[in-house]
Amino acid sequence: MFNFKAFRAIDEPERCQKFVQGHSDVLKQYGVTKVTSSNNDWVKNPFVYVVTVEEAETEEVVSGLRIHIAHPDYPLPMEQAVSQVDHKIFSLVKDYSALGTGEVSGLWNSKSISGYGIGAVLLIRAGIAIATQINLGSLLALVAEYTLKPSLQKGFEIESGIGNSGTFFYPKLDLVATSIVMKDPKNLPLADASERERIFELREKVQFTKIEEGPKGKFEVNYDLLLTNNNWRNDI
């Protein structure tokens, strides 16, 4: 059984530290020792929300992602990364910020649960589902090749206004990242019908248990996606 938990970063320091350790371990396994999105200052950022996945028996955090809300005092991870090669990222984020925007960042998955479909499938759905709780008009992301297709299926589209038609070599010269955007996280007009249905279910039920099925078969998931502190606009 896996437990999905959504929360504001500054409210759950211990969970954040489990996230940090798990993410760091995964990056090292893939030979990445320095990456902007792994900067751990986010644990003190009041404009960051997190979804973690715990293995129920061990309480080990085995997967996670973050949503960074764009704010003048807290640059998005992709602003810091992409600005090294394209300064248009700043005006792009500013334009989307007019209606509130956030970046889905730091998505990682422990090798111990590889093949379940948790990170690239279930976790991205959960991240999109909580976007309406924090009242975001759009979502941005910088994704690796293996997460591009599942992200497009969930309603993202390639943001071609930056980089080489939206692509970059990041975080290493032999890895390609693509900038994507979801312009309507509430209605999900570009999402596959099945994905839209699943995300709407997460959004409506918020706290429930379900049997999910992935390449490795069926498994139980306990979802707790209710954000108890979601009015970030009061902190602007």
- The closest of 1, 144, 173, 135 to 65, measured between CA atoms, is 144
Structure confidence by residue, pLDDT tens digits, 185-235 = 999 999 999 999 999 999 999 999 999 998 888 999 999 999 988 877 666
Cα–Cα distance for residue pair 224/166, rounded to 1 Å: 34
Cα–Cα distance for residue pair 200/213, rounded to 1 Å: 18
SS3 letters for 7-33?
EEHHHCHHHHHHHHHHHHHHHHHCCCC
Domains in the chain (CATH in brackets) are: 2-235 (3.40.630.30)
What is the SS3 assignment for 192?
Answer: coil
Cα–Cα distance for residue pair 96/150, rounded to 1 Å: 23
Structure confidence by residue, pLDDT tens digits, 11-39 = 999 999 999 999 888 887 767 666 555 57
* Close Cβ partners of 33 (under 8 Å, ≥ 6 residues apart): 27
Cα–Cα distance for residue pair 195/85, rounded to 1 Å: 33
Number of CB atoms found within 10 A of residue 181's CB: 20
Cα–Cα distance for residue pair 158/162, rounded to 1 Å: 10
- Provide the terminal-to-terminal Cα distance of the chain, rounded to the nearest Å: 38
Structure confidence by residue, pLDDT tens digits, 96-129 = 999 999 999 999 999 888 888 898 899 999 999 9
* Close Cβ partners of 101 (under 8 Å, ≥ 6 residues apart): 69, 70, 93, 136, 137, 138, 139, 140
